[in-house]
Structure 1
Amino acid sequence: MNKLLLATALIAGAAEARPRDIPVATPDGKAVSCLQTTRIRETRVRSDSVIDFYTSGGKVYRNTLPNSCPSLGFEEKFAYTTSTSQLCNVDIITVLQSGGGLSRGASCGLGMFQPVQLAKK
């Protein structure tokens, strides 16, 4: 079975520990268990337990991990492997750590993908 490795690397701003505002998200439909990987256009790591997935067509899906994922909010980048064309709530992400190149950090499970409308700033 071929495994497809997809890495999402988001390096946003200075790499320093800082509290950040997580945009308020209003549910916009029923949560889904999977997203088609070809539809994912961008991700934004909001904290150690919240990732927003931006898809083609302008939809945003918020994934709240069932457990905090150490260093995810600090590093703001992760990778995943999948044997299908979908990223699902049963899949695992791995934090990518900077410093002398990228190395693998904590691995954490995903939650459901909740379609949301994000509050405007």
Structure 2
Amino acid sequence: MKQPAFILFALLAAAPAAADNAPPPPETRICLNIASIRQTLVRSDSAIDFVLRDGSIWRNILPFRCAQLGAQRAFSYQTSISQLCRQDLIKVVLQSGGQMTTASCGFGPFERQPTASAAPPAKHR
């Protein structure tokens, strides 16, 4: 009967060590300076990567899906300040038949990504 108690004790003792090995939470920002943005990569209807001039990549996961963003891979924005922030809105640019835009979609916070994630998205066929 003492063996199950020993196993339970060993598992409980290992739990804090496993928690110490957990990766730190990613760095986040509320805003990005527009002048520092070198490139944007639309990943899906709800994710856009912003590649900055310093080589860092900041992903914005939109709080709600933005229809046609992933298919069109183009968006516009307007801001009265020199930053894009989590409360700002974008509009998907429809590239067929002239440049029309869709309804507005809001940004979420910007989350720093590993540099390797800057690979271009897969082409749609």
Instruction: Sort the TM-score into its range (normalised by shorter chain).
Output: 0.7 to 0.9
Q: Where do 5+ consecutive residues of structure 1 fail to align?
A: 1-25
- Bigger radius of gyration among the two: 2
Percent identical across equivalent pairs? Answer: 44
1:68 to 1:38, Cα distance in 2 relative to 1, 3 A: same
Unaligned runs of 5+ in 2: 1-22, 120-125
* Equivalent residues, number: 96
What CA distance in whole angstroms lies between the structure 2 residues aligned with 1:72 and 1:57? 26
Q: 1:72 aligns with which of 44, 59, 69?
A: 69
Correspondence 1:84 to 2:81: yes
Q: Deviations over 1:21-52 (max 9, x none)?
A: xxxxx988420000000000100000000000
* Aligned twin of 1:96: 93
Q: CA RMSD in A?
A: 2.0
Q: TM-score, normalised by structure 2?
A: 0.71
Larger strand proportion, structure 1 or 2?
Answer: 1
1:105 corresponds to which of 99, 102, 107: 102
2:45–2:69 contact (8 Å) kept in structure 1: yes
